[in-house]
Structure 1
C-alpha cells in the first residue's frame, strides 16, 4: 500500500473532488484493488449455486454463469467510465452521484430505495439461513424454525440500537472465514469419499437441461445474486466507485474487474459443479444442508463449516440493517434516542415477519438476484452511462447499450416471475 502526503489546506468548493481524494492516502495498488474486489463479490450466494445448476441443468447453468459474469464485468467497467465524467464541481464519487448526475434527484432517490430493499431482503435471508444452519446442526429443532427466528430477533435487535457500527464491525471477517471453511469442507468431502452420494469420483444423477421450464427463472435469480457482491455487508456494484477512487492507477480499473470476474467465474463454477456432481438431483437448496446427510463425511470438518455458517448471520445482522435504519431516520427526521430505538425495533420485527411468511432461503436469494440485482448490476449502470455519454458516443454504442438494458429487463422480469410462481 502506498502512502502520500495529506494536504494541509482545506480545498474550496470548486476543487474537483477526485483531485482532493487523490491527495489523501493510503491508496490501493492494482493488486490490492483486485483482491478487494474479490472479497467484495464472494458472498453467501454460493450456498445455492449447486441448487441453481440443478434447476438449470449443466448446459444452461454453466453458460448463463459465464455470460452473467461477463455482463457484470462490463457494467462494472461502465461504472469506472462514468466516474471519469466531469461535473460542475469535479468528478463523481459514488453510485448515488452517478445516478444524480444522470437523472437528477429522482435517480438518486431511486438508488437509495433500491439498495435499501436489497439490504432488507438480505437481512431476511440471513435470519432464515441462521435457522436452517442451526437445524442442520441439531435436526431435532426442525419443527421450531419460527421460534428460532423469533429468539434470534429478540437477541439481535438491541445490537441495532447503537448509531455507530465501529464496535461490531470487527466481526465481518467471520463471513470470509465461513466461506473458506465451507469450500474446504465440500472439496475435501468430495475428494476423500470413494462412493456417492457425496463423491466427486462417483457422480450422482444430474441433468444436462432443465427438467421443468418453470424453474428456469428461479435458477437465473440464484445464479445472478452471487454477482452482486456479498449481500451481507455491501452491494457489489454500489461499492465499485469507492474502489475506483481508491486506486492509484485508475486507468487499469477495467483490467482489475476483468481479472476479478474471471476468478469469480472459475470459483463459482467449481463450487456449483462440485456440489451438483456430489449430490446430483438430491441437492438441497443450501449445499450445506447436504453435509450432515452423508455418514462417511468428516464430522468435525462439516460441523465446523455449519457452525461458521450459522454464526455468520448473527454477527452481521446489525451491519446489514444499519444503512436501512439510517435512511429511514434521515427520511423522517428521526433524531431522538427513543424514536431511534422504536424505529429500529420496528424494522427488525418487519424482517422477522417477512422471514416467517417467506421462510425459504433460496426463494429470498432468488428474488434478490432476479428482481433487484439485475437492476443494480445491469440496468442502472448501463442507463447512467448512456445518459452521461449520449453526446460523445456513436449511434451504434447507444443502440448496443440500449440492448443491454432491454436484456436486463427481460432477465429481471422472467426471473422474478419464476421465483414468485415456484
Structure 2
C-alpha cells in the first residue's frame, strides 16, 4: 500500500511507480512528496527494475499488516539478541567509563532511526531502505545503501551461527558425527545442525506471523540476564571482577560492539511498512530503544562485575559448568538466533527474489532462501571468531547503516534550510562520531582477525 499525504501521484519522485496510487491515504504526520527535487523521468525499463527493488523489503502480508504490539516485538527482537552476550566483553574492552558511550550510541541510533522514518514519510514511493538512498541520490544512492544494508544483515546472520556453534559445543563437548567416512565434530557439527533447524523459519514471508517467533527471542533476552544474575548471587560466582575505569586501546572494539547492539536500522523500513498504523512507528521505535538499553546496560554491568577483564566474547562461556542455571542460560541463548535469523535474511532474500522475478513462486523462493542459509554456514565455518566478527560488523557496516547513511540521506532530502541550524549541527556531530568509530573500529577488528589466522 502506498503511503502519502492525500492522493499520491502515479509517478514516484525518482522514476518508480507507486503500488496503488488510487488508494493512498493521508497520515497525520506525513508531508507532501518532494517532487521538485527529482525532476527527470527515467526510462520505462529502469522504472520496472526499480519497482522490483521497491518490493525487496516490503512484507507481503496477507492481512492488513502487523499490529502495534507485533511490530514492537519484531523491533525489539531486531535490536536485542546476540549483542547481549558480547556487551560485558565490550565493557571490559573499554572500561567502566565506556558505559557513557553505550548511552550516547543508543541515543544517536534512536535519533537516526527517527530520521529514517521522516525520510520514508517524504515520498509515497519509499518502502524500503534502498528507496531512501534513491530518493536522496538516485540510482547510485540505491546501490550504495543496498550494498551496506545487505552486507550487514548477511554478516549478522553468520554471527548467529557462530554463536550457536560455540554455546552448543560448551554444552556437549567432544560431540562428533561420521558420515560416509567424513568426521565432523565440535563447533563445525553444531553450526551445520543449527542451520538445518533454522532453515524452515526463513521460508516465512509474513512479518505478522514472524512476530510470534520474535516474541520468544525477546523473552529469551530477559531470561539470560536473570540467569547471569542468579549465577552471581546464588551459585557463588559473586562480583569479584575489579575491572578498569578506562582502557583507551580497547575503545575502538567497545564502540564497534556497542554500535552492533543497535544495528536494527536495516530492518526498520520493513517493519514500518508491515504496520497497520504506520504513523505510530516512531513511538514503537523509541520504546524499543529504551527497553533494549536497560537490558544491555544491566547485562554489561553484571558480566563485568562478575568476571572483570577475564570475561569472554560471550558471557555464557564464562558461566560455571555443570550448574543448571548455566545450562538454562545457554539453552535460552540458543533461542535468540533461532528467532532472529529469519528476520535478518528476509530482506536479503526478498531483494534477490524480486531481481530474479521470482514473485510468489514458492519453490523458487524456498530455493533462494535455502542457498542463502548454506552460504552463511560456509562463511561461519571459515571465520569462527564471534567477538571480532561482530566488532567488525558494528564498526564498518552497522555504523554506516545506523549512523552515517541516515544522516547523509536526510540532509540531502530535506536540505540545510528545512533542517535548521540546531538539527544540522546535531547531524554533523553524529557524522563525525560515526566516521571515528568506523575508522578506528574497522582497523582494530581486522587486525585482530588477521592475527587469529
Q: Trace 1:71-220 onto structure 2 (pairs within 5 A).
A: 71-85=108-122, 87=123, 90=124, 92-141=126-175, 144-153=186-195, 156-157=198-199, 159=200, 162=203, 164=205, 169=210, 170-193=212-235, 198-200=237-239, 203-210=240-247, 213=249, 215-220=250-255
Q: Cα offset for 1:345?
A: 4.5
Equivalent residue for 1:291?
A: 319
In the alignment of these two chains, the number of paired residues is 387
Q: Trace 1:220-299 onto structure 2 (pairs within 5 A).
A: 220-229=255-264, 235=266, 237-239=268-270, 241-242=272-273, 246=277, 253=282, 257-258=285-286, 260-293=288-321, 299=323
Within the alignment, does 1:375 sit opposite 2:417 as a pair?
Answer: no
Q: Cα offset for 1:343?
A: 4.6
Once the two structures are superposed, residues 279-317 of structure 1 have per-residue CA deviations (whole angstroms, 9 ceiling, x without a partner) of: 112111101111234x6xxx2232122112234434654
Compared CA separation, residues 402 and 17, structure 1 to 2 (3 A): farther
Contact 2:128 2:269 in 1 (8 A): yes
Q: Cα offset for 1:246?
A: 2.4
Q: Cα offset for 1:220?
A: 1.5
Compared CA separation, residues 318 and 46, structure 1 to 2 (3 A): closer
**Alignment root-mean-square deviation, CA:** 3.7
TM-score normalised by structure 1 residue count = 0.78
Q: Which moved more, 1:115-124 or 1:393-402?
A: 393-402
d(CA) in 1 for partners of 2:137 and 2:325?
A: 51
Q: Trace 1:246-395 onto structure 2 (pairs within 5 A).
A: 246=277, 253=282, 257-258=285-286, 260-293=288-321, 299-314=323-338, 317-333=341-357, 343-390=368-415, 391-394=417-420
Contact 1:27 1:247 in 2 (8 A): no
Equivalent residue for 1:421?
A: 447
Equivalent residue for 2:82?
A: 44
Unaligned 5+ segments in structure 1 are 1-10
The SS at the match of 1:207 is coil
d(CA) in 2 for partners of 1:152 and 1:413?
A: 34
Contact 1:379 1:404 in 2 (8 A): yes
The SS at the match of 1:140 is coil
Once the two structures are superposed, residues 55-104 of structure 1 have per-residue CA deviations (whole angstroms, 9 ceiling, x without a partner) of: 11111x2121011012112212322333443x4xx475543433222222
The SS at the match of 2:220 is helix
